[in-house]
Amino acid sequence: MTELVETKGLTKAFGEVRAVDDLTVSIPEGAIGLVGPNGAGKTTFLRLLLGLLRPSQGTGRVLGYGIEDGIPVRERTGYMPEHDCLLTDMTGIGLVSYMGRVSGLDPGTAMSRAHDVLQFVGVDEERYRKIAEFSTGMRQKVKLAQAMVHDPQLYIFDEPTTGLDPRGRSEMLGLVGKIAGSGGRNVILSSHLLPDVESICKYVVILDGGHQIAAGPLAKLLTGAQDRLRIDVRGDRGAFLAALQEAGVDSEAGPTGIHVARKEGVESDVFRAAKASGTEVRYMGVEIRSLEELFLELVERNAGGR
């Protein structure tokens, strides 16, 4: 089976900044989450995949097609960019059918597909109004509709819920989830909102500083870290850690608490160390419970190693 995305040494430099830095990845088909802090290189990576930016070095394939000539990839991909891209002087239906013709549909098919996808995203009578008059939520829906019009094999969503209120966000997420859940469609969802990614994606790629710092099935990434307990104490954390280390417990401080290696009897060592240091255990459990925690840990460790 071909991988959804494969890159080798992919690099994009903007002057001194290496936005994507010698990135070698292999991403399977399915619903993929792309996460990373601001400036991690997510948008640059996605634009490289689409052939909208030229790599400074390295190569890549998407759906088996080389990224050097972006056209075969773009024909099979629906892209919802991070920033506003809409021609605001056009009507909703005008824009979406136009995008259909741009992707090679004949005018009749483009128009009927445009109506279908606007229906799907929930833009009703408003489709006949100019986009300039649309609310942010409505614009995001039109942005999604234009990405769907040519029925692509792959969807690339770059921060699709940015700027939306809670209701708009949940609607957008529902639509993205529906697409991801329909057979034969691949989704790459780039987002800061880790619970969004967690709810839709089965596989996650974490970028930082243009590098991949972790990748794998989400369930596996989370269980992989379960050889440690995470402990949160009320009181002096430093004193608690010192007491643990004095007792010979394999432990370290991390951004989400104190972490200790799991082994027989370690719980009583923890309580003893808390007592000795005048602190109180507020939480003790399997270390990583969410993508959010995993992300904090990895990004912090990566920064420490720099």
Ligand X SMILES: Nc1ncnc2c1ncn2[C@@H]1O[C@H](COP(=O)(O)OP(=O)(O)OP(=O)(O)O)[C@@H](O)[C@H]1O
| Cβ-based nearer residue to Mg ion, 205 or 225 | 205
Q: Which does 19 bind (CB under 5 to 8 A by kind): ligand X, Mg ion, none?
A: ligand X
* H-run or E-run covering 157: strand 154-158
CA-to-CA distance for 37 and 207, rounded, in angstroms? 8
Phi, psi torsion values for 17, nearest 5 degrees: -80, 125
Q: Which does 10 bind (CB under 5 to 8 A by kind): ligand X, Mg ion, none?
A: none
CA-to-CA distance for 42 and 205, rounded, in angstroms? 10
CA-to-CA distance for 8 and 29, rounded, in angstroms? 18
Place of tokens 């809670």: 166
Q: Which does 17 bind (CB under 5 to 8 A by kind): Mg ion, ligand X, none?
A: ligand X
For 91, which DSSP code? B
Determine which residue in the list 4, 23, 40, 149 makes contact with ligand X, applying CB under 6 A: 40
Query: Applying CB under 6 A, what is the total number of residues that bind ligand X?
Result: 12
Q: Is 38 in the site for ligand X (CB under 6 A)?
A: yes
The nearest distance, CB 191 to Mg ion, in angstroms, is 10
Phi, psi torsion values for 200, nearest 5 degrees: -115, -35
CB under 8 Å to 190, separation ≥6 — which residues?
A: 33, 34, 35, 42, 43, 46, 82, 156, 157, 158, 159
| Cβ-based nearer residue to ligand X, 78 or 209 | 209
| Cβ-based nearer residue to ligand X, 82 or 116 | 82
Q: Is 43 in the site for Mg ion (CB under 5 A)?
A: yes
Cβ contact 19:41 at 8 Å: yes
Q: Is 157 in the site for ligand X (CB under 6 A)?
A: no
Q: Which does 41 bind (CB under 5 to 8 A by kind): ligand X, Mg ion, none?
A: ligand X
Site for ligand X in 65-104 (CB under 6 A): 82
Taking contact as CB under 6 A, which single stretch among the options 3-11, 33-41, 263-271, 287-295 is the one that binds ligand X? 33-41
Interface with ligand X (CB under 6 A): 14, 17, 19, 36, 38-44, 82
Interface with Mg ion (CB under 5 A): 42-43, 82
